[in-house]
């Protein structure tokens, strides 16, 4: 089993910068929406009440990542050619309270994230 670790190093007013490690080795920098202090130990109701859609990082916690689901959005290879070698299968975090369809994918600004973890 592979372990991904995300350290949130800078928590700005509108975005969060971090570092992604694979099995303890630095892999890349990350960009997320604003960290509002949510944790996976909080109730889903609390998370939903304190999240701002498209402007909130997922709760910190431990999640299973599924690599076997084709993303409807990223299977449009004319627009997202980088996803073609993977058949549109993008890393998806499972069972994130208050969030749905959380992916790990490329992006450049918080406009690209909507709760996902952007890698660069």
> What does the angle CA 97 – CA 92 – CA 22 come to, to the nearest 5 degrees?
105
For the chain, the C-alpha Rg in angstroms (whole number) is 14
Contact 110, 14 (CB under 8 A): yes
3-class state of residue 107 by DSSP:
coil
| pLDDT (0 to 100) of residue 110 | 86
Condensed to tens digits (0 to 9), the pLDDT of residues 11-48 reads 999 999 999 999 999 999 999 999 999 999 999 999 99
Residue that has been written with the tokens 């299977």 in this structure: 75
pTM: 0.91
Condensed to tens digits (0 to 9), the pLDDT of residues 83-95 reads 999 999 999 999 9
> What does the angle CA 21 – CA 42 – CA 103 come to, to the nearest 5 degrees?
40
- Structural domains in the chain (count): 1
Condensed to tens digits (0 to 9), the pLDDT of residues 47-83 reads 999 999 999 999 999 999 999 999 999 999 999 999 9
Q: Which domain holds residue 92?
A: 4-119
């Amino acid at each position: 089993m592979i372990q991904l670790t995300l350290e949130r190093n800078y928590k700005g007013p509108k975005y969060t910068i971090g570092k992604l490690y694979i099995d303890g080795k630095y892999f890349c920098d990350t960009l997320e929406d604003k960290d509002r202090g949510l944790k996976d130990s909080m109730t889903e109701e609390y998370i939903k009440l304190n999240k701002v859609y498209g402007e909130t990082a997922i709760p910190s916690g431990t999640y299973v990542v599924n690599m076997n689901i084709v993303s409807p959005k990223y299977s449009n290879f004319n627009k997202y050619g980088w996803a073609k070698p993977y058949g549109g299968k993008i890393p998806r975090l499972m069972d994130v309270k208050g969030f749905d369809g959380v992916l790990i994918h490329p992006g450049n600004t918080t406009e690209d994230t909507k709760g996902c973890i952007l890698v660069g």
